[in-house]
Amino acid sequence: MLPKKVEEILNVQIRKEDYSSQLYLSMASWAENKGFEGVSDWLFAQAEEERMHMLKLVKYINEREGKAVIPGIDTPPADFGDVAGMFEKVLAHEKYISGSINEIVSTCIAENDFTTQSFMQWFVTEQIEEEAGVRAILDKLNLLGKNNLYMFDRDIMSMRARGGAGQN
Ligand code: OFO
């Protein structure tokens, strides 16, 4: 049985993962409209990943005799300026999500829920990889320079093909 506080904070996280998925979907669509095929593919895949994270939480709560609450859809922004600025936003969002995951782990410890604490370890590791992946993309963008976006777009495509940069 899940402690009430843990059930509540996991349900808050379901909403955040759902929003992450919508946010990356919106970014993917924005990038696709601008002709960035590699960037949009990366973001479409990332949106799927986030949905998978949400489902993982839904199933876990229900398995532990809690009640997962499926949230309504919050509308994400539709315009992201330029590609570099957009990836800065992805990194800031992932840092925010990492903070939420840490908060859940603290709640588990305070509530002596070591089962959920161990379940959350997967998310802790995932966040380290995701943040590192987005940082690698920003480094590449800086190296290539903002005038070489075509190259960058091709490059991010091959990063995906190799299963790198947060795509796991
Ligand atoms: Fe971006 O990762 Fe979910 O948790």
CA distance 122 to 110: 19
CB 104 within 8 A of CB 122: no
Q: Is the overall model pTM greater than 0.75, yes or no?
A: yes
CA distance 45 to 99: 23
Cβ of 53 closer than 6 Å to ligand 1, yes or no, is yes
φ/ψ of residue 109, rounded to 5: -65, -45
CB 78 within 8 A of CB 26: yes
Residues 6+ away with beta carbon under 8 Å from 158: none
Tens of pLDDT, residue by residue over 122-163, are 999 999 999 999 999 999 999 887 778 988 999 888 776 555
User: Which option is the CATH number for 4-70+82-161: 1.20.1510.10, 1.10.10.10, 3.40.30.10, 1.20.1260.10?
Assistant: 1.20.1260.10
Q: What is the residue with the minimal CA distance to atom 3 of ligand 1?
A: 50
CA of 147 to the centre of ligand 1 (A): 30
Would you list the domain boundaries of the chain?
4-70+82-161
Q: What percent of the chain has pLDDT over 70?
A: 95
CA of 127 to the centre of ligand 1 (A): 6
Cβ of 41 closer than 6 Å to ligand 1, yes or no, is no
CA of 41 to the centre of ligand 1 (A): 17
User: Would the pLDDT of 55 be above 80?
Assistant: yes
Q: What is the pLDDT of residue 136?
A: 94
Nearest atom in ligand 1 to the alpha carbon of residue 97 is 4
Closest Cα to residue 85, out of 122, 121, 137, 42? 137
